[in-house]
Chain A
Amino acid sequence: MAEYFTARGLPVPRELERNILTDWRRLGAIAAVLLVLFVGLRITSIDTSRANPEYAGSVLVQLLQWDFTIMSPQNEFETFWETAGGQMIVTIFLGIIATAFSIVVALPLSFLGARNIMTGNPITAAIYAVARVVFTIVRSIDVLIVVILAVIIFGLGNAAGVFGLAFHNIGVLGKLYSEAIEGIDPGPGEAITATGANRFQVIWTAVLPQIVNPFISFTIYRLDANVRLAPIIGLVGGGGIGVLLFHTMNLLNYRQAGLIIFMIILTVAVMDFISAQIRRRLI
């Protein structure tokens, strides 16, 4: 094939020049991947010899034989809110409240993290850089890790869970909001600047109308994510229905655990559907 080009004095396209079978970069890449997998298998020493399919089968059956007694109070001291149904509702609200807290913090900060708002002045440009780094650091600490640390401050329970969800979400929403602000059309803002309005007036009249829809869309997306995460934070002491799931599993009470897992899956699916519907209408 390459002769076609050389015969006519044309440069040979790179794709034709290389032979896939002898290209050392390609071979090197394949070798590197294989090496990583080999080393990984050695040091993790994954052991499947203790697997017990029979036991697993019986647990699976129990998980589907739902025990509805956890849906009503267990003794005279408990109210509806301690039941599995009540805790599911509480958990959904943990996600909602955590999202609300993070909006309050992320919303003003996101303007500091938007390049188009902050450049033009060395001081604001420095604030911009700091805001972006803060978002990145906050975002990179996983929710579960924040909850584990928050338990030290707040003790076990809802406070630690909400804090963990909200903290991580500030980083994510801050970045998403900032990028929405950076994506706006600068024209209207310039026009209003030219009329002699100050920076705040420009943001209020020219920037805000352009970002409401993306902001609502991102917020609902994160609300969805937080309601999804809320049952999990209970597993590390963050409160909500995850605590109940943790207990029932420890007590090998798979019939109750199965019902809880089903409720969580149902909640997440419903949230997912609602959030997708709303977001679709916003675009």
Chain B
Amino acid sequence: MAPILRIEHLVKVYPTGTRALDDVSLDVERGEFVVLIGLSGSGKSTLLRCINRLVEPTSGRILLDGTDMARARGSELRRMRRRIGMIFQQFNLVRRSSVFANVLAGRLGSRPLWRTVAMRPTTEDVALAFENLGRVGIVGKAYSRADALSGGQQQRVGIARALMQRPDLMLADEPVASLDPATSHSVMKYLEEINRKDGITVLCSLHFLSLARRYGTRVIALKDGRVAFDGKPVDIDEVRFKEIYGEDAVEVEIGVGPTADERAAAESADATAAAMRAHLETLDTH
């Protein structure tokens, strides 16, 4: 089968003259969990943001299932974007809106304008929103304001929002860089789950190589806007590591284990599921 994402000779030169991506080519196969690593400034964010065109590539092709994303315009571009979810380091939730409204926002692109303006989501979308909130274990927070949540919870809202798109590909730009190590793992596990269970291909940039080894099925390293390594996590040895991160770098571990967040989530899981079922039933009767 054709790769879900094929990038050919991608170049991005910012107006400032910075050559952030310098002839990047790579294929991502369906179902892979690709971790993007590299020093700060190596071009990870630029690459991810070029894929869904938050950043305009200077040249090159971005083939999503064979269609060139780099050339798409207007409604075609929006239609292609719907197939790509994205989560962000800063979560990028609308802070003053409810968790529920934030999650529903993931579905705007597929719905007519008046539903946005009148704030009248379809029953199907509401059900899907609660299903996705349930998956990331925060149904209980549905009506809280987004900025009342902890960082880990906000990132889970970000994941639920992206899942509303039913994406084929999930981009994640340092999704756990603003979180503590324990919370990082709980968020990464949700990404792992959507990759394994839903078969959503994940392309995720990370700062810690230990996280990359733990979650990635494949690691791509960028250096000065070029691909410096592309292979299995286990193949990154001392030499490769120093090639990617420089001579003075030392690898650090980031602990694995159940977190307070996770334990709480597990405890509330039953209650959450019950609440969700109850809610879906009320929706059905309408």
Contact of A191 among B96, B110, B161 (CB under 8 A): B161
Q: Is the CB of A197 within 8 A of B92?
A: no
B92 touches A195 (CB 8 A): no
Interface of A is mostly: helix
B94 contacts partner chain A, Cβ-Cβ < 8 Å: yes
How many of B's residues come within 8 Å of A, CB to CB? Answer: 35
The reply on B204 being an interface residue by CB < 8 A is no
- What are 15 pairs between A and B in contact, CB < 8 Å? A187-B92, A188-B95, A190-B92, A191-B88, A191-B105, A192-B105, A193-B54, A194-B52, A194-B84, A195-B81, A197-B78, A200-B113, A206-B105, A209-B97, A210-B94
Give 8 nearest A-B pairs by CB, closest first: A196-B109, A196-B82, A187-B92, A196-B81, A191-B92, A197-B108, A194-B86, A196-B78
A213 to chain B, nearest CB (A): 8
Q: Mark A206-227, 1 if CB is under 8 A from B, else 0.
A: 1001100000000000000000
Q: Is the CB of B109 within 8 A of A210?
A: no
B94 — which chain A residues lie within 8 A by C-beta? 188, 205-206, 209-210
Q: Is B93 an interface residue (CB 8 A)?
A: yes
User: B105 touching A205 by the CB < 8 A rule?
Assistant: yes
A193: B residues at CB distance < 8 A: 54, 81
19 extra A-B contacts, CB within 8 A, seeds A192-B108, A195-B81: A187-B91, A188-B95, A190-B54, A190-B88, A191-B93, A191-B161, A192-B105, A193-B54, A195-B85, A195-B107, A196-B79, A196-B81, A196-B110, A198-B75, A200-B113, A201-B108, A204-B117, A205-B94, A209-B94
A191–B165 Cα distance when bound, in Å, is 12
- Minimum CB distance partner of B51 in chain A: A194
Q: Which chain B positions have C-beta within 8 A of A192?
A: 105, 108
Interface residues of A (CB under 8 A from B): 185, 187-188, 190-198, 200-201, 204-206, 209-210
Chain B: which residue is nearest A198 at the CB level?
B78
Q: Across the interface, do B97 and A195 meet the contact criterion of CB distance under 8 Å?
A: no
Distance in Å: Cβ of A37 to nearest Cβ of chain B: 48
Residue of B nearest to A186 (CB): B92
Contact call A195/B113, Cβ cutoff below 8 A: no
Are A195 and B108 in contact, CB atoms less than 8 angstroms apart? yes
| Cβ–Cβ < 8 Å partners of B84 in chain A | 194
Q: Is the CB of B109 within 8 A of A201?
A: yes
Quick check: is B64 within 8 A (CB to CB) of the other chain?
no
Given contacts A194-B81, A195-B165, A204-B116, contact A188 B108 (CB under 8 A): no
Q: Is B217 an interface residue (CB 8 A)?
A: no
Complex: chain B residue closest to A207, CB-CB: B94
B106 at the interface (CB under 8 A from A): yes
The yes or no answer to B158 lying at the interface (CB within 8 A) is yes
Complex CA gap A191/B224 in Å reads: 26
Let me know if B90 is at the binding interface, CB within 8 A: yes
Residues of chain A lying within 8 A (CB to CB) of residue B95: 185, 188, 210
Complex Cα distance, B161 from A212, in Å, reads 23
State in angstroms the CA–CA spacing of A198 and B84 once bound together. 15
Which residues of B125-183 are within 8 A (CB) of A?
158, 161-162, 164-165
Q: How far is the CA of A193 from the CA of B78 in the complex (A)?
A: 8
- Asked whether B106 lies within 8 Å of A210 as measured between CB atoms, the reply is no
